[in-house]
Structure 1
Amino acid sequence: MVTYDQPQILTLSATYELPFGRGRRWLNRRGVVNQTLGGWEIAGSAKYASGFPMAVTQCDAFDCGSLGKGTIFNWLGGEASLSRPNIVPGQPLKNPTYNGTYQSQYVNPKAFTESFDTFGNAPRLLSGLRTPGQAAEDLSVLKNFPITERTRFQFRAEFFNAFNRHHFAPSFTNYADTFVFFGGCGFGPPGTGCTLSNLADSPRAIQFSARLDW
């Protein structure tokens, strides 16, 4: 499994030219009517996808703030790296009390235990524990002004993340007991870490542009 694995991805796109103005079904006229009501287009795209697999580690190195109970010492010198905890059988990886808000704890701390002086059985990536799914919609409104038969001026208003959806990403996925591990980087009991406090995408953005086609 790779870090960018997403089992389901749905991508949609559409463009619709409004049926008004010269050569169209409604108000097929020249002059002011065509310049005002003709040449309008509406376009949109949307993407809906499942989340990415998450990796849960345990803080066991000096660079995590201080020594945790699961520290594996590197007797050859240098700092140890993050290792993996043990998975508790029968416990859901995602916290069953997660309520969709950013303050709510996403990863279930009861699903993991620290591995003492050894390597845990948690895999590199957890297929059963994924980041929240993604949903994003972009919209565009276009107005075309014909100048000659082959030349036109186009004005565009584009709305990225049009509905201003917010997707949060887990802030911490390092398991540690906060009473023992004073660095505070862990989400283990009795801490309240690993909440969804980081934005995984950008807020709504509006862009205006113009172009000349010939």
Structure 2
Amino acid sequence: MSLNTFPSGTLKTPYYYQYNLGIEQQIGTRGNLRADFVGTRGLHEPFQVQLNGYQTVCDGCFAPFPYQQPLDQRSGNVNEFRTDANSSYAGLQTVYTQQWGGLTLRGNYTLSHCLDEVSNGGLLAFSTQGLLSPLPGELRRQYANCDYDVRHNVSAFGLYQVPFHSSRAVLRQIFGGWSFSETAFLHSGLPFSVLSQPYIANGNGVFQANGASTVQFNAPAYANRLPGVSVYSKNAVTGVTVAGTKQWLNPNAFVSVVDPATGACTGGDSPVNCQFGDSGRNSVRGPHYTSSDIYITKTFPIREGITFRLDAQMFNAFNHPNFALPSQAEAGVPGGSIPARFGTLQSTISPPTGLLGVGLGGDSSPRMIAFQGRIEF
């Protein structure tokens, strides 16, 4: 029998404190600088925890799970909904605008940090690496970077309207009415976790139900971090970096609690070796994001109040690839068995702007160029 439970039969309503402080200063006659400090504190946020897990590896292994049998042998899966999670966000947001004749510039920079125990409401993973169910009684150990924590975020916009004046109508038609604009985006990478392999030796492991049917490694089974070894490496690693991928994490910086070659704990099964790793939640980051869009516009006056406008639009104008988080984040054992594709970049992500829209999937391609004509009146 599987159960969904609630502590004391009730759930608390999440609530948030929001605060901000801003200052603004005019610079010269056409410049403006604004800075805002923005903060949010979330309390009683929801999450789920699986209470009836147990392990069959050894007495004292994989704490806090009991050995050989679940806490309540009458029940199978016991999933408890709780509202004990917290979150915090603090950000410094700056905006600068400037005009020089026909040139308009606007730049935005945000330095921020988001911390929580379970991201995205605890009910839906933000990414494939998101963890929703902390170990029983160990929620506070998950307090780390939010799944969507972006430490640095830069966006910039520039518009230049080419000034041209002539008494000759032909020259005005050719050289007048031109404008150029560019929008640029740059932000640092998203965090994710490095995990261990699941324990599978001799049919043993960590289970969630009464009966060895479901392996419970959707709990935060982190890998161990090797001190003094660089976390990131762009050099290809034989047997790990396969064709069509790009190495991002250093395979020699992490050790899986479970050896993928044997399915048992690295160094042998014992309470010392068979514990969840220390690398922690969201302790590494993926690659940064860079994209630029360029627009070239020419207007043709037809008669008073009616203009024909022709646009050339270039999305991801410099054809810069932006990679998603590694899909293989389960570590191996340096000097032994390391899974192929561990810590490698295999796919790209969609830009914030595009020609065809997110729903159609056309925005995931590289540079796209479009021409558009319209009559404005």
Tell me by how many angstroms 1:112 deviates: 1.6
In 1, Cα distance between equivalents of 2:288 and 2:236: 15
How far off is 1:110 after superposition? Answer: 2.0
1:196 to 345, 348, 352: 345
Structure 1: gaps spanning 5 or more residues: 62-66, 181-187
Answer yes or no: is 1:172 the counterpart of 2:328.
Answer: yes
SS of residue matched to 2:170: helix
1:53-74 CA-to-partner distances (Å, cap 9, x unmatched) read 122122327xxxxx47995333
Structure 2 unmatched ranges of 5 or more: 1-144, 238-242, 258-264, 266-273, 351-364
- Aligned pair partner of 1:150 in 305, 312, 326: 305
Report the counterpart of residue 139 of structure 1 in structure 2: 294
Q: CA contact under 8 A between 2:331 and 2:342: conserved in structure 1?
A: no
Q: Is the Cα–Cα contact under 8 Å of residues 173 and 194 in structure 1 kept in the other structure?
A: yes
Residue 96 (structure 1) shift: 6.8
1:119 and 2:257 aligned: no
**What is the CA-CA distance between 1:90 and the residue it aligns to?**
2.1
Q: Distance in 2 between matches of 1:152 and 1:71?
A: 72
Say if 2:294 and 2:314, in contact at 8 Å, map to a contact too. yes
| Residue 164 (structure 1) shift | 0.5
Q: Deviations over 1:13-52 (max 9, x none)?
A: 11111122xxx3xxx1343222222111111111122111
Aligned equivalents of 2:332, 2:214: Cα separation in 1: 21
Say whether residues 1:73 and 2:207 are aligned partners. yes
Letter in 2 for 1:174: E
Question: How many Å separate the matches in 1 of 2:147 and 2:161?
Answer: 40
Q: What is the rounded CA distance, in whole Å, between the counterparts of 1:43 and 1:104 in structure 2? A: 33
| Distance (Å, rounded) in 2 between the aligned partners of 1:71 and 1:203 | 44
Q: Distance in 1 between matches of 2:348 and 2:373?
A: 31
Equivalent-residue separation in structure 1 for 2:376 and 2:323 (angstroms)? 40
* Equivalent in the alignment of 1:185: none
Q: Distance in 2 between matches of 1:95 and 1:166?
A: 18
SS at match of 1:44: strand
Mapped to 1, the partners of 2:188 and 2:279 lie a distance apart of 22
TM-superposed deviation, 1:143: 0.8
1:48 & 1:133 partners in 2: Cα distance?
A: 7
Paired residue type of 1:205: M
- How far 1:93 moved relative to its partner? 1.7
Say if 1:177 and 1:72 are closer, same or farther in 2 by CA, change over 3 A: farther
TM-score of the pair, normalised by structure 1: 0.75
Q: Distance in 2 between matches of 1:207 and 1:113?
A: 48
- Whole-Å Cα distance in 2 between the matches of residues 190 and 60 of structure 1? 13
1:79-133 residue CA offsets vs partner (Å, 9 max, x unmatched):
423322122222222137469x96443212222222244322222211xx22122
2:164 matches 1:9: no
Higher RCO (Cα < 8 Å, 6 or more apart): 1
Which structure: greater strand fraction? 2
Aligned residue-pair number: 193
| Deviation readout 1:169-202 (Å, 9 max, x if unpaired) | 3342122469x9xxxxxxx626453322212344
| Corresponding letter in the other structure for 2:146 | V
Hey, what's the Cα distance between the residues in 2 that align with 1:73 and 1:44?
54
Contact 2:254 2:332 in 1 (8 A): no
1:19 aligns with 2:19: no
Residue 155 of structure 1: CA displacement?
A: 1.0
RMSD between superposed Cα atoms in Å = 3.2
